Every structure is written in C-alpha cells, then in structure tokens.
Structure 1
C-alpha cells in the first residue's frame, strides 16, 4: 500500500514508475519548479483514476487549485499515453 491521506491500493512501484516517467518528461521539457513534485503528481493522478475523485476534491487534498489538479492529471495522462500503446497497459506497467 502507498502511504496517502487515505489508503490507496496500488503498488508503491507503480507510483514510483509513473513518477519516473513524469520526471523524465519534465527534464526533457526543462520544466521549472512546480507546487507538487513528480511523486505527488503521480499519486494525484492515480488517486483520480482509482478513486474517481473530482478535481475539486483532489485540489483540496493536495493543497492545490482545482485548475492545477486538472492540468497535472492531464499532463500525467498524456505522459502515460505516450509511454504505452494503451492506458490500461500504462497503468498496469512492468511487473
């Protein structure tokens, strides 16, 4: 289980892998500092996908605005989609 404000039943390795993909994406784009680090952005995205939380709930839980939550999730989904041929494959990742 991944430590979170509420238990999230995804392997820590999955969160770390998504965080690594985000880190590489940010490095390639020379992205400046952000409110959330890559691990937190990966966690935010997986909470949204797994728990179906709204962007308002995510924003409140991660201390960011609703719009920022929407942007972060969208960016992470774009990164996952480019990494794998399908979103399901990206979320199940290498084992």
Structure 2
C-alpha cells in the first residue's frame, strides 16, 4: 500500500519469508494465498511470485480513503481548537511542500 514494492518485483519464497519472520510456512502460505486472491501478487510456476501490476487502482483508492480519514481527523481537531479553514489550508500547504 505504501508503494515500497514495485509492480513486477520478485517476492521472497514462502520458506525464506517464513524463516526471516520466524513464523510457520503454513502461515506464510495463507498470507500469499490471500494476497494472490486479492490481486496483489501473482505466482508464475517455476519462476516465483511477483508483485502484481493489476491492482494499482485498488491501492490508489485505499490510499485516498486513508487521506480522507486523516483530513477528517485534522478538520475535527482544528474546529475543536478554533482554527479557521484558511489556517488549516495554510498548514496543509506548508506540510505538503516540506518534502
């Protein structure tokens, strides 16, 4: 969701991931099955598992939902503390331009 893994990027094998996370291979297999079912990864026989390119719209929509939730919290907090809409907008612009 954060974009840390790029489309087409190889995923570690289930055994390697299970070992690095200190969990069972069965747990890792369930996670991979869920990710594949939801379209986040694809498995190519004899080649491996890769980050899917097909689910970028879902990821964007989920991130937009998270942004809206955070902005709702910021607006509520601003109103509770007497900030005007203009003050909130100015703060958002400053924060956005920092990076």
> TM-score w.r.t. structure 1 length?
0.36
Which protein is richer in helix relative to its size?
1
Which protein is richer in strand relative to its size?
2
> TM-score w.r.t. structure 2 length?
0.35
